[in-house]
């Protein structure tokens, strides 16, 4: 293992450190103005300053510390690499703070942006203007939580091992977090993990969200051809909203097994008139629109027409521009697991797994990692293990049983990704028909309710369904059971 090193402010060592890439962790905080936009602008400026951001923490809304008479903060952290020396890095961050409107103000007082260097390589730094590790890491839960997010539970590098050794407890950063109170802080101190969506910050731990499926296609396996006109689609949306849908997910291209691919223009021709009509409905107030597409151009036009999030069955594998487009749109992104494309996903080579939960977790991690490198932060990502996509019946059952395992496997590489909301979509899928001997998709609603119930109790946060009414009831019961578990524990 490479030894951790001390760095005292002297020019020769500054040159030595500056001459090679170093891994860094930087904390972000904001409680003035458009807090989320402040984060977006800061990340953009950091990249332009020579910091390659590779991982993001979750987004936390927290009560102010030290000076309590001020607005609540958004907090997170990023992990990346830079060739900037530690004091050059500090200078770059201070310039970003100034450019975004930060002034001297009162210590620990309100600020549009606060950027702190938590770690710089394997170095301990002590100079007149910089101390690394940041001296107050260990007492700040709003720093520790996102810091841990950008690490994995396995110590995967010498640098990360050094960071753990800097902690004030022999068990490293995780023991320091535990001594602060750990996950109990989310109850005691009002910390919340949140995902920005629409005009709100969504705390997905409060309850399960129901996503209603509206397929604007002639050939989808369940409701293909049922909504041939804008009026028919709008009527179905109104019904789903009345039955308790939180999100309406529009698909204008079939992703059933063996589906042939249509063009971007044909997909848009089906989708945009409906989106524009639905966005005007008074019933949509407080509700969200999702677009189910693997085309970046469709995602772009859909968001321009009112969609709030992008649901990509390919996780970015079928359009190399998807991640960059979604990053620029600054909307949530559902990254689903699938191998191949709809026409090949059930081929024999795509349904071969030695351990389906571990392999799905690993491949999802790779997709999310690619999205993060393109600029989609973890706080805008939702993961979907892809039930029914590149899976056989037994594998779908293993996934439903194994959602906690999938999260645990992801946590080994990125705690942030393991914490993000998880969406499942078993609704009316073929494996339910095989188990229950129901050949018609419309006869699989009872089995869907059972699968949704199993998924929610195993940790799913969003359920994507055709039958909103029955599954919304199931979600409410599951939420009540989970709340009872939390009270008892």
Question: Strands 59-62 and 51-56, how do they pair?
Answer: unpaired
Q: Which residue has the tokens 């949530």?
A: 332
- Domain at 5-190: CATH architecture: 2-Layer Sandwich (3.30)
> C-alpha distances in angstroms, 326 versus 10, 119, 322?
44, 29, 6
| Of 7 and 10, the one with more pLDDT | 7
All residues at 6 or more sequence positions from 421 whose CB lies less than 8 Å from its CB, including other chains: 195, 202, 204, 382, 383, 461, 462
Instruction: Round the average pLDDT of the chain to a whole number and report it.
Output: 91
Structure tokens at 183: 């996950």
Cβ atoms of 75 and 144 within 8 Å: the answer is: no
Please indicate whether residue 279 is annotated as part of the active site: no
Above pLDDT 70, what percent of the chain?
A: 93
Query: Which residues is 131 bridged to in the sheet?
Result: 126
- Tell me the whole-structure pTM to 2 decimals: 0.93
Nearest to 388 by CA among 378, 398, 380: 398
pLDDT at 220 over 70: no
Please indicate whether residue 79 is annotated as part of the active site: no
3-state secondary structure of 105: coil
CATH for the 206-488 domain, from 3.10.105.10, 1.25.50.10, 3.30.2010.30, 3.20.20.20: 3.20.20.20
> How far apart are the C-alpha atoms of 315 and 367, rounded to whole Å?
6
pLDDT at 260 over 80: no
For residues 298-314, average pLDDT? 97
Residue 12, pLDDT score: 38
Per-residue pLDDT of 137-179, as tens digits, reads 988 899 999 999 999 887 778 889 899 999 888 889 999 999 9
Cβ atoms of 141 and 185 within 8 Å: the answer is: yes
Q: Which of 55, 428, 444, 464 is catalytic?
A: 464
Q: Which of 339, 407, 413, 429 is catalytic?
A: 429
pLDDT at 210 over 60: yes
Residue 134, pLDDT score: 87
Chain region(s) in the chain for CATH 3.30.70.560:
5-190
Query: Which residues is 309 bridged to in the sheet?
Result: 290
Cβ atoms of 7 and 123 within 8 Å: the answer is: yes
Chain region(s) in the chain for CATH 3.20.20.20:
206-488
């Amino acid at each position: 293992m490479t030894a951790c090193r001390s760095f005292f402010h002297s020019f020769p060592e500054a040159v030595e450190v500056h001459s090679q890439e170093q891994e860094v962790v930087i904390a972000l905080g904001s409680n003035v103005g458009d807090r989320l936009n402040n984060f977006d602008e800061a990340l953009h400026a950091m990249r332009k300053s020579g910091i390659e951001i590779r991982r993001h923490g979750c987004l936390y809304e927290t009560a102010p510390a030290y000076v309590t008479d001020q607005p609540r903060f958004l907090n997170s952290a990023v992990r990346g690499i830079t060739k900037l020396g530690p004091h050059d890095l500090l200078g770059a961050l201070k310039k970003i703070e100034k450019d975004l409107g930060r002034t001297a103000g009162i210590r620990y007082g309100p600020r549009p942006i606060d950027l702190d260097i938590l770690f710089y390589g394997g170095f301990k730094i002590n100079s007149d203007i910089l101390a690394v590790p940041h001296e107050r890491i260990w007492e700040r839960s709003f720093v520790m939580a996102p810091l841990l997010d950008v690490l994995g539970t396995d110590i995967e590098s010498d640098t990360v091992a050094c960071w753990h050794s800097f902690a004030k407890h022999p068990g490293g950063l995780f023991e320091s977090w535990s001594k602060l109170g750990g996950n109990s802080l989310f109850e005691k101190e009002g910390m919340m993990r949140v995902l920005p969506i629409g005009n709100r910050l969504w705390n997905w731990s409060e309850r399960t969200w129901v996503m209603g499926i509206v397929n604007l296609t002639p050939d989808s396996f369940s409701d293909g051809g049922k909504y041939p006109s804008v009026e028919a689609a709008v009527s179905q949306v109104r019904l789903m909203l009345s039955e308790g849908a939180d999100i309406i997910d529009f698909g204008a291209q079939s992703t059933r097994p063996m589906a042939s691919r249509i063009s971007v223009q044909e997909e848009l021709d089906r989708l945009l008139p409906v989106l524009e009509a639905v966005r005007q409905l008074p019933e949509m107030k407080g509700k969200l629109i999702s677009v189910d597409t693997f085309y970046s151009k469709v995602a772009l036009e859909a968001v321009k027409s009112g969609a709030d999030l992008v649901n990509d069955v390919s996780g970015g594998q079928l359009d190399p521009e998807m991640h960059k487009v979604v990053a620029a749109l600054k909307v949530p992104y559902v990254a689903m697991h699938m191998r191949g494309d709809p026409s090949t996903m059930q081929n024999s080579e795509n349904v071969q797994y030695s351990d389906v939960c571990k392999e799905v977790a690993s491949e999802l991690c790779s997709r999310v990692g690619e999205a993060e490198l393109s600029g989609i932060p973890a706080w805008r990502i939702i993961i979907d293990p892809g039930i029914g996509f590149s899976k056989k019946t037994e594998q779908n059952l293993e996934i439903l049983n194994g959602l906690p395992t999938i999260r645990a496997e992801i946590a080994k590489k990125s705690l942030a990704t393991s914490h993000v909301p998880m969406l499942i979509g078993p609704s009316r899928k073929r494996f339910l028909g095989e188990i229950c001997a129901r050949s018609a998709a419309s006869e699989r609603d009872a089995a869907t309710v059972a699968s949704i119930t199993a998924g929610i109790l195993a940790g799913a946060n969003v359920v994507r369904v055709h039958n909103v009414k029955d599954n919304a009831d199931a979600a409410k019961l599951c939420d009540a059971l989970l709340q009872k578990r939390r009270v008892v524990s």
